[in-house]
Amino acid sequence: MRGRIIARTVVCALALSLVAAACSRSDSSDGGSTDTTGGGNAAASGSFGSLGRVCGPGDAEGATAAGVTDTEIRVGTVADPGFAGRPGLNQELFDAATVFTEWCNAAGGIEGRKIKLDLLDAKLVEYRQRILEACDQDFSLVGGGAVFDDAAQKDRLGCLLPDISGFVVSPEARGADLLVQVLPNPNDVQPIGDFRWLAEKFPAAKDKVAALTAGLPSTIVVKDQSVEGAEAAGMTVIYDGQYNASGETTWAPIVQTLKSKGVRGLIWTGEPENLAKFEQGLVDAGYELDFIQASPNHYDQIMLKTGGEAIQDTYVRTSIFPFENASENPATKQYLDVFKEYLPDGKAKSYLGVQGFSAWLLFAKAAAACGSDLTRKCLLDEAKRVGGTTWNGGGLHAPANVREQQPTDCFAVLEASPKGFSLPEIDANDSIYNCAPDNLVKLKGSYGKGVTLADVGKSLSDLK
């Protein structure tokens, strides 16, 4: 049975589902600038998963770029945990950055240079201020993401600051120059493997689907892309609605609308807590859907804690190996072990945390390849080369085409229930994943474009 709806104001980050912008809480500290060199068994070799050596001693030297000296590389990670409307928002990005930095520095740094980490708290509405700070002090951004990342892409490109991101949200950021995503999320390609799987599993529901999202421009874009993808996978969307960006005091009117239209399946664009509350609203109305499709950021324990018995028939697309099955995957187990050693109270079990950690792994491998020639241009070139067409974070997630910044054509599905997350049976052909070119579709609609160097009067020849 589903439980009672719990009314609580949740502002803004409601809607970043397809960009994996997980909105979550943590009791971790607010952060700041750290230069950590902790020790411990997990750091003994500096090797991770199938990547081999990631960090370790070396003889790299020279003040080769802004933020780089003989002894350190200064790097910034952006997130929004200081936002008063949702304390701890995406804290897992800071946690992953802190854990990686301590682990890497304990192993000897990146070819001998230690990482100096700046935790840049955008507090939702201060993204531009943090980017301007990073322009003044940091070599690169790594493993971060912010809800309103459209606010300063021109500033970032104006100071030629690279970003090996944890996630990006807005069209302006998703297609921006000097950006590398470890699980790319471009403006013109949509994953549809889970939509096709749901259409086959629930044939009576596939022609009676609704789409819901918060009334924010960025979330509406994500929802529209999902709708086009779902229809390409054989679904018919008969209702397209929005909810308040701060959440609903009661979800009853929206639930009643879905019921009156005979909706049987739902594509949800939002965040875990609001989805849990919506599902509680379904229970209050005595209305049950055949399925609810949610994107990767909903792989979060907060949804289960908030919704309890209300969480039913909910399917989350995932490209990372589940924490529940960590014993079957050495990279996932090592990731959890490193967290346990360096930040045991941090939020390890988060989709976004894994994505951020993968970004750090790519950064370190690329920076190490540059050695004493570590420049921003070398970093970006090596990130594309090292990432190649099958980057998987050493086994943390499905392979993705980093070189060409194209999404992974692999997917798995997690079924959420009061008992937790579990893997339903899919036609897996690569570990837990189904991988096939037709799991992606080229979008026909226009969903915005990224900020380019040309937009700020620069070109790649300016990148040193």
The three-state DSSP-derived secondary structure of the chain is CCCCCCCCCCCCHHHCHHHCCCCCCCCCCCCCEECCCCCCHHHCCCECHHHCECCECCCCCCCCCCCECCCEEEEEEEEECCCCCCCCECHHHHHHHHHHHHHHHHHCCECCEEEEEEEEECCCCCHHHHHHHHHHHCCEEECCCCCCHHHHHHHHHHCCCCEEECCCCCHHHHCCCCEEECCCCCCCEEECHHHHHHHHHCCCCCCCEEEEEECCHHHHHHHHHHHHHHHHCCCCEEEEEEECCCCCCCCHHHHHHHHHCCCCEEEEECCHHHHHHHHHHHHHHCCCCCEEEECHHHCCHHHHHHHHHHCCCEEEEECECCHHHHHHCHHHHHHHHHHHHHCCCCCCCCHHHHHHHHHHHHHHHHHHHHHHHCCHHHHHHHHHHHHCCCECCCCCECCEECCCCECCCEEEEEEEECCEEECCCCCCCECCEEECHHHEEECCCCCCCCCCHHHHCCCHHHCC
Instruction: Tell whether 5 is covered by a domain.
Output: no
Which residues have a Cβ under 8 Å from the Cβ of 425 and sit 6 or more positions away? none
Q: Please give the share of the chain, as a percent, with pLDDT higher than 90.
A: 84
* pLDDT-derived band at 218, boundaries 50, 70, 90: confident
Burial of residue 424, with CB atoms counted within 10 A of its CB: 0-12 exposed, 13-18 middle, 19 or more buried: exposed
Smallest Cα–Cα separation from 353: which of 145, 5, 93?
93
Which residue has better confidence, 415 or 20? 415
Using CA atoms, how far apart are residues 77 and 82, in angstroms rounded to an integer?
Answer: 14
Give the range of the structural domain holding residue 299, as residue numbers without chain letter.
190-322+408-442
* pLDDT-derived band at 45, boundaries 50, 70, 90: confident
What is the torsion angle, in degrees rounded to the nearest 10, for the CA atoms of residue 135, residue 141, residue 144 and residue 147?
40
CA atoms within 13 A of residue 5's CA, in its CB half-sphere: 21
CA-based R_g, the chain, Å = 21
* pLDDT-derived band at 217, boundaries 50, 70, 90: confident
Is pLDDT at 35 greater than 50 in this prediction? Answer: no
Instruction: Tell whether 3 is covered by a domain.
Output: no
Instruction: Tell whether 66 is covered by a domain.
Output: yes
- Residue 159's alpha-carbon distances to 148, 153, 164, in angstroms, are 19, 10, 15
Instruction: Tell whether 69 is covered by a domain.
Output: yes
Using CA atoms, how far apart are residues 309 and 449, in angstroms rounded to an integer?
Answer: 41
Q: What is the mean pLDDT of the chain?
A: 90
- Residue 371's alpha-carbon distances to 102, 122, 181, 263, in angstroms, are 20, 31, 22, 57
Using CA atoms, how far apart are residues 430 and 409, in angstroms rounded to an integer?
Answer: 11
* pLDDT-derived band at 96, boundaries 50, 70, 90: very high
Using CA atoms, how far apart are residues 20 and 356, in angstroms rounded to an integer?
Answer: 11
Q: 447 with 221: CB under 8 angstroms?
A: yes
Do residue 54 and residue 165 come from a single domain?
A: yes
Do residue 195 and residue 184 come from a single domain?
A: no
Average pLDDT over residues 41-63: 88
Which residue has better confidence, 15 or 246? 246
Average pLDDT over residues 397-407: 96
pLDDT of residue 4: 32
Is pLDDT at 259 greater than 50 in this prediction? Answer: yes
Which residues have a Cβ under 8 Å from the Cβ of 23 and sit 6 or more positions away? 10, 13, 14, 16, 86, 89, 90, 271, 272, 273, 297
Do residue 400 and residue 354 come from a single domain?
A: yes
Average pLDDT over residues 267-276: 92
Using CA atoms, how far apart are residues 365 and 110, in angstroms rounded to an integer?
Answer: 8
Do residue 178 and residue 49 come from a single domain?
A: yes
Do residue 161 and residue 237 come from a single domain?
A: no
Is pLDDT at 313 greater than 90 in this prediction? Answer: yes
Which residue has better confidence, 318 or 33? 318
Task: Specify the pairing of strand 72-79 against strand 33-34.
Answer: unpaired
Is pLDDT at 423 greater than 70 in this prediction? Answer: yes
Tokens of 295: 């994107």
Using CA atoms, how far apart are residues 23 and 83, in angstroms rounded to an integer?
Answer: 11
Tokens of 327: 């014993």
Which residue has better confidence, 28 or 295? 295
Using CA atoms, how far apart are residues 383 and 392, in angstroms rounded to an integer?
Answer: 13
Instruction: Tell whether 7 is covered by a domain.
Output: no
Do residue 295 and residue 334 come from a single domain?
A: no
Do residue 288 and residue 377 come from a single domain?
A: no
Do residue 214 and residue 298 come from a single domain?
A: yes
* pLDDT-derived band at 44, boundaries 50, 70, 90: low
Do residue 199 and residue 275 come from a single domain?
A: yes
Is pLDDT at 374 greater than 50 in this prediction? Answer: yes
Instruction: Tell whether 4 is covered by a domain.
Output: no
Q: How many domains does the chain have?
A: 2
Instruction: Tell whether 368 is covered by a domain.
Output: yes
Do residue 341 and residue 264 come from a single domain?
A: no
Q: Which amino acid is at 115?
A: I
Is pLDDT at 322 greater than 90 in this prediction? Answer: yes
Do residue 372 and residue 432 come from a single domain?
A: no
Instruction: Tell whether 336 is covered by a domain.
Output: yes
Q: Which amino acid is at 155?
A: D
Residue listed under structure tokens 């409307």 = 85
Do residue 273 and residue 160 come from a single domain?
A: no
Using CA atoms, how far apart are residues 11 and 342, in angstroms rounded to an integer?
Answer: 31
Tokens of 305: 């804690």
Smallest Cα–Cα separation from 297: which of 131, 462, 100, 89?
89
Is pLDDT at 5 greater than 80 in this prediction? Answer: no
Which residue has better confidence, 353 or 41? 353
Is pLDDT at 443 greater than 80 in this prediction? Answer: yes
Which residues have a Cβ under 8 Å from the Cβ of 431 and sit 6 or more positions away? 321, 329
Query: Over the stretch 146-192, which tens digit does the pLDDT of each residue have?
Result: 989 999 999 999 999 999 999 998 999 999 999 999 999 999 999 99
Q: What is the CATH number of the domain that holds 108?
A: 3.40.50.2300
